[in-house]
Structure 1
């Protein structure tokens, strides 16, 4: 755990997002990578034990909801994420990394540190 109570891997994932944002800031045009951003936001949420709704991710990765929903479908097809309907609220779905994707991100972070 780090000082703010989050896991070390969550803190590292936040640093990776910040680094990518700093690199993107070097370009004169807006550069985004919704998959990269979403994977790390979902990783952080999982490390912190926070469930994540599909709709909560779009503002976090700075893309329109419609664009995000297209990416969710592609990420599901690629085996990166799973969606689960919320039994308490039929309008909401939860999204999480697949076990394989989480393990691969764990390894990536371990390799970097």
Structure 2
């Protein structure tokens, strides 16, 4: 989920809760539980769609973005430049 949100942010796309649930390839109830956990831990935030009250979007918080950048740096073996 976090990687999907990170990639969509890099592409300038918004992700709905429904789209994120489908992309996670797990049952919707499981995906919704994970979204709630990520929200409660401050990695993502939900925002209601002002044009469609049935839909909400999910996005990374600054904490979630920083965690993904750190994860990708470690995964790819990229050193963080020293100041």
On whether the aligned pair clears a TM of 0.5, the verdict is yes
How many residue pairs align between the two structures? 76
Could you list the runs of 4 or more consecutive aligned residues of structure 1 that deviate by over 3 angstroms after TM superposition?
Answer: none
Q: Please report the TM-score for the alignment, with normalisation by the length of structure 2.
A: 0.83
Structure with more relative contact order (C-alpha pairs < 8 Å, separation 6 or more): 2
1:14-53 Cα offsets, whole Å, 9 max, x none, are xxxxxxxxxxxxxxxxxxxxxxxx0101111011110000
Report how far residue 110 of structure 1 moved: 2.7
Contiguous gaps of at least 5 residues in structure 2:
79-83
Rounded to whole Å, the distance in 2 between the matches of 1:66 and 1:40 is: 20
Match of 2:50 in 1: 87
Contiguous gaps of at least 5 residues in structure 1:
1-37
Q: Please report the TM-score for the alignment, with normalisation by the length of structure 1.
A: 0.63
Report how far residue 61 of structure 1 moved: 1.3
Aligned-residue CA RMSD (Å): 1.1
Q: Choose between structure 1 and 2: higher helix proportion.
A: 1
